[in-house]
Amino acid sequence: MAQDEIGITEEVTTGLSEELDKQMSIIKSFLEHLEYTLGKDKYSATKYDSFNALAYAVRDHLVERWLDTQQAYYNLDNKRVYYISMEFLMGRALGNSLINLDLWNDFKEAIDSLGRDFEAILDEEQDAGLGNGGLGRLAACFLDSMATMSIPAYGYGIRYEYGIFRQAIAEGAQVEIPDNWLRYRNPWELDRQEHLHTVKFNGRVITTIDKDSGKLVREWVDTDDVMAMAYDTPIPGYQTHTVNTLRLWSAKSSREFDLKFFNEGNYIRAVEKKMQSETISKVLYPADNVIEGKELRFKQEYFLASATVHDVLYRFQKMHKDFRMLPDKVAIQLNDTHPTLAIPEMMRVLIDLEKLEWEEAWEITRKTFAYTNHTILPEALELWPVWFFEQILPRHLQIIYEINDQFIKEVKAAFPDDPQRISRMSIVEEHWERKIKMAHLAIVGSHSVNGVAALHTEILKKELFRDFYEMYPEKFNNKTNGITQRRWLKMANPGLSALLDEHIGDGWTRDLYQLNKKLKPFAEKPDFVERWQKVKRKNKENLCRYIFKQNEIEVDPESLFDVQIKRIHEYKRQLLNVLHIITLYNRIKDHPQAEVVPRTFIFAGKAAPAYAAAKLIIRLINAVAEVVNSDPEVADRIKVVFLANYNVTLAETIFPASDLSEQISTAGTEASGTGNMKFALNGALTIGTLDGANIEIMEEVGKENIFIFGLTAAEVAELKERGYNPREYYNGNTELKRVIDMIATGFFSPGTPDLFTPLTDSLLNHGDHYMLLADYASYVSCQERVGELFRQKDEWARKAILNAAGMGKFSSDRTIKEYAEEIWGIKPVDIIPSAVEREH
């Protein structure tokens, strides 16, 4: 044999040997965790045991890198960002970890070789429902991007024992079921019992005079204390050695029980304090229509803020004693107003505990914090009654008053002839019930304020926070949201991912702009278009099977999948979608022989338990579905499906199968949206208003490749200023009038004719706040253009490819790069594998 052939043979043999060794190592780890960690053998192990054993085996790979990452951050003493969010909608971790570690194929082959179903084991994982929608999912995408880009970062949130409720549908109505996601073990988290911080509530503030300095000293005493205990979850980057940390706080009692009551035989009273303390981290979003729920929410926000501030300062003080260095080593990003109490908490610690002067503490605090605004709806901007502070956080109220006093002096100096501005900008709302405006506190206490889409940021600057922008123009900036392509394309849509890898390489997983550069030409290649269509068809068939399994509705995969999946809210206008469905239904009934593009309308989303109008919209969707789907004259042409319990895992099935993405909020109400990006990345065309990130998507994909309808934000404002009368549209459009009358008179609820009257009343008699009737005709007309294009299968596919190709801008990697460079001042840190890892 020739020498070069011998060399090749040895390389192949060595490669096969390494692959076999790797597979045996995975099998050994899996079986050892099954036996020694879980105490099970092949006879007693359930599928869920197999999932846990597999998760622990994967976690072992993470832990090595995790330790290297944390040690590197400590040794290098680099600046770090702390991302505080009340929500982290992480979804399943096992598949995501395997993809980011580049171990998917290795583990699949190893588990399959044992005769076990790898995919079935993955399906055993529960979604971690620590969020309700876009806010929490954005936070999860950001964690993925920060780790992938090697940004020194920590996420901070609450370890809710009960996440967002599980949604069931009974007789068309939403039923909320507690989501006890921690009922079984969570294999990804490690409890850090050594990381305990005391969080104080209630009590009173006493003021004394320091004998040496003669200064006033304020002390918060007689408090009710709760312990915050850390639970850490590793967050791996994609094809990098970086593994960052998500730290979630769990509330623990400062003592297990009161021995005095216990000895007296009063066992309930003995553990009462413990139960009250641990309620704080019990449930995500307690009902806010009762005062007890609002108070618990307020306590949750302070619990998160206080524990995080103390943890950040503890880590800082391990290396530094001079607090003036804090902004050089620490960046704290507030994900909306919920964590804003971290600002007065930081001031309290620096002034009361560390004895800094006010001016110095305030300068440090403002340079450390940054605030992201996620909403322009006035009702979503948090206002907390002053009496909450008086009872629960009395010291913080004093600090906020002082912050406000100093700020008002600034305003007076800058605008001496504008007394009305002082009232508008004050942190304290002085109406019949005094309240603290948390958004104002966040702006005043931060060095950066950013919106999450170009239009959203302009609305912040010109309308919502105009006074603040005029005073602090340098603070305001835009950071358009993004999504992680690793989860939302590579993992969620393996068929499309493989097609892209084959034709343009896999560089898009780290640089999504490669889609813009390389994918567009393939839209003109018939062979590629045909393969694209086959991938879409397979994804649609997969969703069809899910729909039949869950809803027992047969759906035609050849039909146009018209999809609106998001939180149910009036401003998101699921009701406008329903008006169009009923319009189509009427047209078919009036003209049974007319050609109609078959459509399947797919809805999913949860309504807040106390949000009556949103829950009624769900009932209407299901009532319309019952009529439409059971009508033989219509059923082959339109179907309506509401999929219960929308979560990340369900979204990963729906996005790849969708043809049309419904992004139809009233212009000027949606801050950004990220579902629009996930749809387009998976090859769906968008029908939408010029709202949120839809505008930027249109700019990237081209006006000719998106369906835009309706009033612009400026036209909405102008119409409202002029005087909007929804009855003019109702009386002026016979199709619209007929649809609303059908809903109002009980056509879809014959047993309870007035069931949906509150919805039609909101449109006709209460101002149609989100202007559905004004946009109805434009929307229906736009939907006609959708149907016409869908008949042209190849042209539809071409535009779908161009939509995916235009998504380069919408990676969360780009967003995080902008945050790191323009707000946080943080650079990536390359993590060098330890010797143990290299040998392994």
Active-site amino acid positions? 374, 566-567, 572, 674, 678
Could you give the CA distance from residue 408 to residue 405 in angstroms, rounded to a whole number? Answer: 5
Tokens of 680: 């387009």
CB atoms within 10 A of CB 684: 26
Tokens of 69: 């990452």
User: For residues 60 and 720, what is the distance between their CA atoms, to the nearest angstrom?
Assistant: 59
Contact 132/163 with Cβ under 8 angstroms? Answer: no
Buried b (16+ CB within 10 A) or exposed e, 158-195: bbbbbbbbbbebeebebebeebebbeeebbbbbeeeeb
Which residues, 6+ apart, have CB-to-CB distance to 204 below 8 Å? Answer: 220, 221, 222, 394
Q: How many residues does the chain have?
A: 840
Task: Give me 729's structure tokens.
Answer: 């549209």
428-457 burial: b if 16+ Cβ within 10 Å, else e = beeeeeebbbbbbbbbbbbbbbbbbbbbbb
Give the separation between CA 799 and CA 789, rounded to whole angstroms: 10
Nearest Cα residue to 158 out of 365, 304, 345: 304
Instruction: Identify which of 539, 825, 476, 507 has the alpha carbon closest to the alpha carbon of residue 682.
Output: 539
Contact yes or no for 236/62 (Cβ under 8 A): yes
**Rounded to whole angstroms, how far apart are CA atoms 9 and 837?**
28
Instruction: State the Cα–Cα distance between residues 548 and 265, nearest whole angstrom.
Output: 56
Long-range contact list for 64-67, CB < 8 A, 24+ apart?
Answer: 64/834, 64/836, 64/837, 64/840, 65/234, 65/236, 65/241, 65/242, 65/243, 65/831, 65/833, 65/837, 66/234, 66/243, 66/245, 67/834
Per DSSP (E only), the strands in 98-160 are 128-130, 153-158
Q: How far apart are CA 568 and CA 562, in angstroms?
A: 16
Give the span between the Cα atoms of 479 and 532, in whole angstroms: 32
Q: Please give the full DSSP string across 293-340, using - where no structure is assigned.
A: HHHHHHHHHHHHHHHHHHHHHHHHHTT---GGGHHHHEEEEEESSTTT
DSSP codes joined into one string, 427-450:
SEE-SSS-EEEHHHHHHHT-S-EE
DSSP 3-state of 564: strand
DSSP string, 331-387: EEEEESSTTTTHHHHHHHIIIIIT---HHHHHHHHHHHEEEE-----GGGS-EEEHH
- 3-class DSSP assignment, residue 683: coil
Upper half-sphere CA count for residue 230 (Cβ side, 13 Å): 21
Residue in the block written with tokens 């306590």: 299
Q: For the sheet containing 685-688, what is the strand order?
A: 638-643, 599-604, 560-565, 660-663, 685-688, 707-708
Q: Which candidate, 168, 183, 295, 205, places its Cα nearest to that of 615? A: 168
Q: CA 682: distance to chain centroid?
A: 19
Angle, alpha carbons 250-58-679 (nearest 5°): 80
